[in-house]
Structure 1
Amino acid sequence: MFTNPIKASCLAFAVVAATGAAAQTDIIMSNDNNEKGLKGQTFDLLVTELENRLGDRANVEMHHSGTLFDQQSQIQGLQLGAVNIISPTAGVYSSVNEKVGALQLPFLLNTPAKIQAAVADPLVREAIMPTFNDQNIEIIAVWMNGPRDLGYKADAPILLPSDAQGLKVRVQSAPIFVKTWEAVDASPVGINWSESPTALQQGVIDGAEVTPNSWRGSSTYQFVDHITKTDHQYSFYLVGANKAWWDSLDDDVRPEIEAALEVATDWNMSQASSLNDGDLEFMAGEGVKIHDLTAEQRAVWVEAMQPVWQELGTDLLGEEVMTRLKSIAAAE
């Protein structure tokens, strides 16, 4: 039950604003991450674009660092209309749409272009998006984060699935992340990323699998010896709007929001690769050993992930959609 009085007051305010006589459109946005990272910067660019395009026709509110809703509560806040736009990682949405995990199947869609192609594909969209709509969520953009890489404390590098056996890996508590590491007999541990530095120091976990910008931005790289560029999943954010709010926008307002989103999304896409490459270079300079996988080693990982592809891909979406995803993944 949604009972937090502060968040309830936000909901009441949103309802009054939507039904009152004022012509202003309220655009309330929540970022579960900090404003310095790639997502925070993308949100801030979106704010600038919205204010420039809509002027006094809109009241734009931006809440960073989970100050309005955190990673877990933001979905409910969006559904209830207490916030208009959020941008969680795709895995966070699995609580309301388990099919979305197929877009993060390990060692499948490994570049921003392939993720964008999959989300835009009519067959894939028809398999995944209606469930969001049924949950009062409209997906309005896709923002990139970076490749998820395995960082860990160990004497020797992890280059093959067998090397990860028994490794205690911090993951987000979503099936796609948990089952990925269970497939190689590792021990996934679902804890908040903010708790990971302490967990590494205390031996609760041996490593984690996040993007280079997350490793560096949180300074958690200081507590690991190695980072293997597994690039097993390309982490991205699904920008979601409250569907009832989105559908109610005036015809002269929604196109401006869409245009602002396009500018922010294009900038986000242009920054993801260079940002993460620079972070890997920085961490190598700080003494973290960075390892690449050979084509042969990567093939062994891909083979180990076939049960995950079956369970969270074919079994949920069907053979036709899974074949389409494989085709998109194979494209140059």
Structure 2
Amino acid sequence: MTDSKKPLDTTRRNFIAGSAAAVSTFFIGRPKARAGDAEITLKFATVAPSGTPWSKHTSRLKKRVKEGTDGRVKVKVYLGGGLGDEDSTVSRCRKGGIAGWAGTTAAMASIIPELAALELPYLFPNVTAADDILDNKVTGEVQKMLEKAGFKLLFFSENGHRSIGTNFGFVKSTADLKGKKMRSQSHDVHLNTWRALGASPQPIAVTEAMTALQTGVVDGFDNTPLFTFAASWFQAITHFTLTRHSYQPAMAVMNLDVWNRLPADVQTLIAGDLKAESEYGRKTVRAIGKQLIDNFAPAGVQVHESSRAELDAFAKATKPTHKKFTDKYGSSFYKAIAKHL
């Protein structure tokens, strides 16, 4: 933390070690594991630090699998991006080098571009609508796209609503972003959103973003309060504007071939119930949302809650990104979402 910021107490440091979802698994065992084998080890890697909702979710999985198999199957979790960033690990998962992965839909969209429709700016009116659409309306379409690409869907979760952190002041209009270099995820949805807001997007991996912020390569970023604290990016900003311009779901998947090699009882234990696991993941993330926002002030970061007029102006400015997306990637999945809004 910089000298200009008030240090946080130890309890709060532990609490705010939150993170976005990005879990990966690696299966080590015989070509086809059997229920009677002495041991199967499943390695999980995540960019989330310990003490976060996502690390708690993996601990829940570890316990379920260990107890359900009497110790035959061991889940070993590697926290903090030990296997790489989201884009590289999802690619390795597709090739079978990593058995499973979980992260943002934007990262999965590097393989399945249509999925990025879920992150278009101001698409969902609220999280209730987002939950209903993912859990009840387009689940089948998502599963088919994933299976075609070689993945098995385990459950949904979320990173949450992305807002804007800066080192130059609040963002109350597009004029405030003119000429500013802003860290971006690499998908067109995020790049075009920044351009529509007047900024110059800089696609930079999560693992390199903190250095870019500290050295002035970028002037800010967009992400959730959860990830802002998890990655310690709050240390490199002075202002956080709650634009909530993009709702970012997350998902956990496994390589389909690896999944099919697992014995049926282990599959059942890993997957659990899709809806129940999705609800659990979102609930744990949302439970600390307000407290995370409250933590900005003690960290020396000012917060602005965008007005309705400001949000309407941002929504109007970014609306053309929806057509840019459908023109490039097709409108089928986008329409499947939009008809329920």
2:70 partner letter: G
Distance 1:213 1:311 in 2: 29
Aligned counterpart, 1:303: 316
Q: Relative to structure 1, is the Cα distance of residues 11 and 46 closer, same or farther in structure 2, using a 3 angstrom cutoff?
A: closer
**Counterparts in 2 of 1:242-281, with a 5 A limit?**
242-259=255-272, 264-281=277-294
**Counterparts in 2 of 1:13-28, with a 5 A limit?**
13-14=28-29, 16=31, 18=33, 22=37, 25-28=40-43
1:326 partner letter: A
In structure 1, list runs of 5 or more residues that go unmatched: 1-9
Contact 2:156–2:277 (8 Å) recurs in 1: no
Aligned counterpart, 2:338: 326
Match status 1:36 vs 2:51: yes
Q: Relative to structure 1, is the Cα distance of residues 270 and 158 closer, same or farther in structure 2, using a 3 angstrom cutoff?
A: same
1:244-285 residue CA offsets vs partner (Å, 9 max, x unmatched): 232344333333323276665433222222323211101123
Which has the larger displacement, 110-119 or 11-20? 11-20
Aligned counterpart, 2:190: 177
Aligned counterpart, 1:106: 121
Displacement of 1:295: 1.6
One of 99, 122, 130 as aligned partner of 1:115: 130
TM-score by length of 2: 0.82
Where 2:86 maps in the other structure, the secondary structure is coil
Which has the larger displacement, 142-151 or 60-69? 60-69
Distance 1:56 1:48 in 2: 10
Contact 1:49–1:260 (8 Å) recurs in 2: no
Where 1:82 maps in the other structure, the secondary structure is coil
Displacement of 1:168: 1.0
Q: Relative to structure 1, is the Cα distance of residues 173 and 36 closer, same or farther in structure 2, using a 3 angstrom cutoff?
A: farther
1:157-189 residue CA offsets vs partner (Å, 9 max, x unmatched): 211223222221111222221111011221111
Displacement of 1:11: 7.9
Distance 1:56 1:261 in 2: 24
Aligned counterpart, 2:80: 65
One of 111, 129, 133 as aligned partner of 2:147: 133
Match status 1:282 vs 2:299: no
Distance 1:23 1:245 in 2: 18
Distance 2:301 2:234 in 1: 7
1:182-221 residue CA offsets vs partner (Å, 9 max, x unmatched): 1122111111234333322322111111110222223321
1:127-185 residue CA offsets vs partner (Å, 9 max, x unmatched): 5443321221122211122221101012x421122322222111122222111101122
Where 2:80 maps in the other structure, the secondary structure is coil
Contact 1:152–1:208 (8 Å) recurs in 2: yes
Q: Which has the higher helix share?
A: 1
Q: Relative to structure 1, is the Cα distance of residues 243 and 282 closer, same or farther in structure 2, using a 3 angstrom cutoff?
A: same
Q: Relative to structure 1, is the Cα distance of residues 267 and 302 closer, same or farther in structure 2, using a 3 angstrom cutoff?
A: same
Match status 1:200 vs 2:178: no
Distance 2:103 2:324 in 1: 23
TM-score by length of 1: 0.84
Q: Which runs of 4+ in 1 moved over 6 A?
A: none
Where 2:295 maps in the other structure, the secondary structure is helix
Aligned counterpart, 2:11: none
Distance 2:28 2:258 in 1: 14
In structure 2, list runs of 5 or more residues that go unmatched: 1-24
Contact 1:50–1:260 (8 Å) recurs in 2: no
Q: Relative to structure 1, is the Cα distance of residues 26 and 262 closer, same or farther in structure 2, using a 3 angstrom cutoff?
A: farther
Percent identity between the two aligned chains: 21
Where 1:291 maps in the other structure, the secondary structure is strand
